[in-house]
Structure 1
Amino acid sequence: MAKPGGAPWWAHVMLYAGGLTMVAAGGTAAVAQYGVYTTNNTLEQEEILGDFQAEMDVENIEGPLNILVLGVDKQGGATRSDTMILVHINKDLSEAAMVSLPRDLYVDIPDCGPGYSNNPCTTKLNHAASISDDWEVTRANVVETIHDLTDLDFHIGATADFNGFVDMVELVGEIEICSWKTFQSHHTERVFEEGCHYYDQEAALDLVRQRYQFYDQIDYDKGLYGDYARQAFQQQAIKSLLTEARAQGFLKDPRKITDLLEGFGDKVTLQLPPGMEVIDLVASLKDLDPEAITSIRTPAHSEENEVGAVEVIGEGEEQADADALWQAMEDDTMDEWIAENQEWIKETG
């Protein structure tokens, strides 16, 4: 099995898409050959989606594309997934939306582990990734749980961890992340000030792991309480990485592209459709604009039930909004959904 790791892989791919396309098309033969070889062989590939991989024409790559990104964390001998992001890219591959699923989302899980005699149960989403120390078992359970929730199949799957995120920030130097209030880190003595600031790799990693200090009225007013705050910081970090890399010429300088590939190559795994090479996807995503990535919160609310504090997609309006969101990802009508559902669009300023 390939090693999991890294920040969401597609973010990295988009960073060097333009540059690799230029190299392959107009660079020297040696550099072009190296660029293509490195792209196709740096990122490990593994089975992620199982029966829930959508079909696509790999000879004529176009959107819409739905991508499932599982952020993973190794604890002892086990691998867990506590970040789950659905990425939708539109038909002409120029705009994207990220939907973060709350780790405490109250969902039906097909296999709830030995404690439930491996029967189904309804509990927090992150329980789906804790049923076994065997990552292949837990990964399949997480993917099936997300499919059952959304009824979506995914064209591409990926796993990634925080170490890849740290490496990426080191390459660009600093990234900008905004906070709507001042607070102290739960993990260190670092204080994050209100407003937009640039952070190095250590501070950025600390920031995107925060979720325990966000139960003040301002957090509830913005819909960014608890894990929603962590999701907001993670999504900002991804967009900021893309923007900074573009500004620093990573999309045009083959030497920087090589550094980028070597920095995260052993920290990301993915599953592409049969017959697709990484270079094919890289070239296809070259026009994706970081500023055109929309961050979306899953339509849900907090409540207490028999398993504790959870996020619930409520009956009525929330369920209708969620169902419409999954359908919009399927039908590539995200622009219409976003325009009609501004309450679920994340604003962190």
Structure 2
Amino acid sequence: MKHVAGKSGAPWWAHLMMYAGGLTMVIAGGTAGVAQFASSAAENAVPTENILGDAQAEVEEIKGPLNILVLGVDKQGDSTRSDTMILVHINEDLTETTMVSLPRDLWVEIPDCGPGYSNNPCENKINHSASISGDWEVTRPNVVQTIYDLTGVQFHMGATVDFEGFLGLVDMVGEIELCPWHEIQSIHGEKRVFPEGCAMYDKDESLDLIRQRYGWDWDSDWEEGRGGDYGRQAMQQQAIKALLKAFKQEGYLTDPGKLTEILEGFGDSLTIDKPEEWTITDLAVNLRDIDPESITSVQVPSTADQTFLGGEAVSIVMTHEGAEQEAADALWAALQDDTLDQWMTQYPEWVKTPGKTPTADASATVD
């Protein structure tokens, strides 16, 4: 087992795994062997694929800062499409995390706009980059290239997550806390009604709530920057934080057996793209100091707008020239340079308060 890169003071099981090879020769299958087995099981529990392509940064050791691209995918039959795109930044000390969700209606340049455009580039909503084919092997590189062209950010890791599989992990902790800002009437299935304020929700309820977009249409939603898809993004980020918090409280993030349980719980709902030198257990050790409650959410500088496609008016989200473009360009640079603290100080209107129900001061829109 290679030495754990990065931080010292690793938990007991990490030290045990570092010396597992030598100890098994002496103890012949004792606790070190169990730890080694847990490490191997964790490594084998997660499928890998080439997600990032040319957008992958060259790295060796696990050290900050790190940028991770997370694509939430929707699997229907043989078709897989990405409907959620999150840029995760971890600072140099590997202690602070920032999430930047790209609005699905963000107006961007797309390198391949599909058969309807003779596979030529075009300007369209960013989620169009994921709709050019039902074949994920075709759409995935198009989505990644679109994000890379927009941001210029190179990523150290990539991951695709089926949100249904992700929230299936709620079963492992029973329930998670979610806090809608006002009552939400579900448009799906059982037509649940979610009351304003914080409450505990099980797997099915959580999934239903974080899929809602059209309920975030109150005047206060638009005024406070959580209208439409921004409300959906904020609830998804709440779910991620709540699940991480629950796992940490129950010891899943410091026990190799429980870590493997989490990874196996994803099944084929999670795939990752990481440097070959990195192991899952090394990552768990090095990222152990991140506090889920302190994760900061950032909104891409942009506001609602309207344009025409095929002669029809469509609602979009656009980063406009001037102050918005300046803030957006500075955001992409801050992700690369690990200067997000300075960026947040300069552009507080695009920052959501960590540890509280997210709010923001920009507008968004829905289809």
TM over 0.5: yes
Q: How does 1:96-111 map to 2 (within 5 A)?
A: 96-111=97-112
TM-fit CA distance, 1:142: 0.4
Please state whether the residue corresponding to 1:311 is helix, strand or coil.
Answer: strand
Which residue is equivalent to 1:336? 342
Letter in 1 for 2:132: I
Which residue is equivalent to 1:54? 57
Whether the aligned pair in 2 keeps the contact of 1:128 and 1:142 (CA below 8 Å) is: yes
Whether the aligned pair in 2 keeps the contact of 1:298 and 1:322 (CA below 8 Å) is: yes
Please state whether the residue corresponding to 1:236 is helix, strand or coil.
Answer: helix
Q: Percent identity?
A: 56
Whether the aligned pair in 1 keeps the contact of 2:166 and 2:269 (CA below 8 Å) is: no
TM-fit CA distance, 1:54: 0.5
Report Cα offsets for 1:105-147 as digits up to 9, x if no partner: 0000000011101100000001100111221110000000000
Which whole-Å CA distance do the structure 1 matches of 2:57 and 2:109 have between them? 22
Which whole-Å CA distance do the structure 2 matches of 1:122 and 1:23 have between them? 53
Distance 1:18 1:294, change over 3 A: farther
Whether the aligned pair in 2 keeps the contact of 1:20 and 1:36 (CA below 8 Å) is: no
Which residue is equivalent to 1:28? 31
Q: How does 1:77-92 map to 2 (within 5 A)?
A: 77-92=78-93
Which whole-Å CA distance do the structure 2 matches of 1:19 and 1:298 have between them? 40
Which residue is equivalent to 2:164? 163
TM-fit CA distance, 1:254: 4.3
Q: Give the RMSD, CA atoms, in angstroms.
A: 1.8
Larger radius of gyration: 2
Distance 1:300 1:18, change over 3 A: farther
* Contiguous gaps of at least 5 residues in structure 2: 1-9, 20-29, 359-367
TM-fit CA distance, 1:287: 1.3
* Contiguous gaps of at least 5 residues in structure 1: 1-16
Which whole-Å CA distance do the structure 2 matches of 1:215 and 1:18 have between them? 46
Which whole-Å CA distance do the structure 2 matches of 1:255 and 1:56 have between them? 28
> Is 1:75–2:76 an aligned residue pair?
yes
TM-fit CA distance, 1:260: 2.0
Q: How does 1:1-349 map to 2 (within 5 A)?
A: 21=14, 24=17, 28-58=31-61, 61-187=62-188, 188-307=190-309, 308-346=314-352, 348=357
Which residue is equivalent to 1:14? none
TM-fit CA distance, 1:57: 2.5
Which structure exhibits the higher relative contact order, with contacts defined as CA atoms closer than 8 Å and separated by 6 or more residues? 1
Q: What TM-score do you get using the length of structure 2 for normalisation?
A: 0.86
Q: What TM-score do you get using the length of structure 1 for normalisation?
A: 0.90
Which whole-Å CA distance do the structure 1 matches of 2:259 and 2:267 have between them? 12
TM-fit CA distance, 1:80: 0.5
- The range that moved more, 279-288 or 196-205, is 279-288
Which whole-Å CA distance do the structure 2 matches of 1:243 and 1:19 have between them? 21
Which residue is equivalent to 1:11? none
Which whole-Å CA distance do the structure 2 matches of 1:73 and 1:20 have between them? 36
Letter in 2 for 1:240: A
Distance 1:18 1:179, change over 3 A: farther
Whether the aligned pair in 2 keeps the contact of 1:25 and 1:32 (CA below 8 Å) is: no
